[in-house]
A = this chain, B = another copy of it.
Amino acid sequence: MRIGELSQRSGVPIPTIKYYLRERLLGPGTATAANQADYGEDHVRRLRLIRALLEVGGVSVATARDVIDSLGRTDVQPHDLLGIAHHAVMPARRPDRGTAAWARARAEAERFAATRGWHVDPRTIAFDQLADVLDAVRSLDVTEILDNLDAYADRAQEVARFEVESVIERRDPVRMLELVVLGTVLGEALFGALRLLAHEHESALQLGEAAPLRGEFPKFPTELAT
């Protein structure tokens, strides 16, 4: 199909498709004339993947390219793949990690994993992200958040458990690759959306509000204190 039809089929505007081609997120079509190319079903599917990563997963263009490259390769090391998936769900900007406070937070993150008996490579970047949060929580003086650290970790481990089980159940290695990467990105967005919905429900519930009427909102706890 021509680029016009590709745009129509995928819902992605032509200039955006051209941008993805330039950024090598999308592979080139088959050249049919000087300024024309033919695109196939793979391109439609790839465009859906790009949009999901960028818009649902909130992934940067550079990281999306890494993710997409990894899906097409058979030589990628399993651990690298997990690393790529993990990079994809981390914020693009990084805080200053050169401070003494951050180094303490990093050590604290490793100790925490050890107390839970988690077998994790000390170099894994998820430790850096945990250290970012611990450091921010302390510097902003909202350490109440850490009162729930074990409760967070219990639920995170349960989620990770069924996610990993779900990958292991696949027998097709290509499908496993897809599920590791997309499951990491989309699973995060899915859990995030459900957590926000549950916030609204729990705040109504814990304050003993009845079911909200049409057009009414469940009250939020701050109303109690004002």
On A, residues with C-beta under 8 Å from B are 11, 45, 48-49, 51-52, 54-58, 74, 78-79, 81-82, 86, 89-96, 99, 109, 113, 118-121, 124, 126-127, 129-130, 132-133, 136-137, 139-140, 142, 144-145, 147-149, 151-153, 155-168, 170-173, 176-180, 182-184, 186-207, 209, 211-212, 217-226
Q: How far is A34 from B71 in the complex, measured between Cα atoms in Å?
A: 57
Residues of B within 8 A of A92 (CB): 58
Residues of B within 8 A of A204 (CB): 119
Copies in the complex: 2
Residues of B within 8 A of A57 (CB): 91
Contact A160-B223, Cβ < 8 Å, known A119-B205, A148-B166, A166-B144? no
Query: How close is A194's CB to chain B, nearest CB, in angstroms?
Result: 4
Contact A156-B194, Cβ < 8 Å, known A136-B52, A170-B225? yes
Contact A159-B119, Cβ < 8 Å, known A51-B95, A224-B168, A225-B170? no
Chain A at the B interface: mostly helix, strand, loop or mixed? helix
Contact A140-B182, Cβ < 8 Å, known A51-B95, A58-B93, A167-B221? yes
| Inter-subunit contact A202/B161 (CB<8 Å) | yes
| Inter-subunit contact B99/A11 (CB<8 Å) | yes
Residues of B within 8 A of A139 (CB): 48, 52
Contact A162-B173, Cβ < 8 Å, known A124-B200, A190-B145? no
| Inter-subunit contact A186/B56 (CB<8 Å) | no
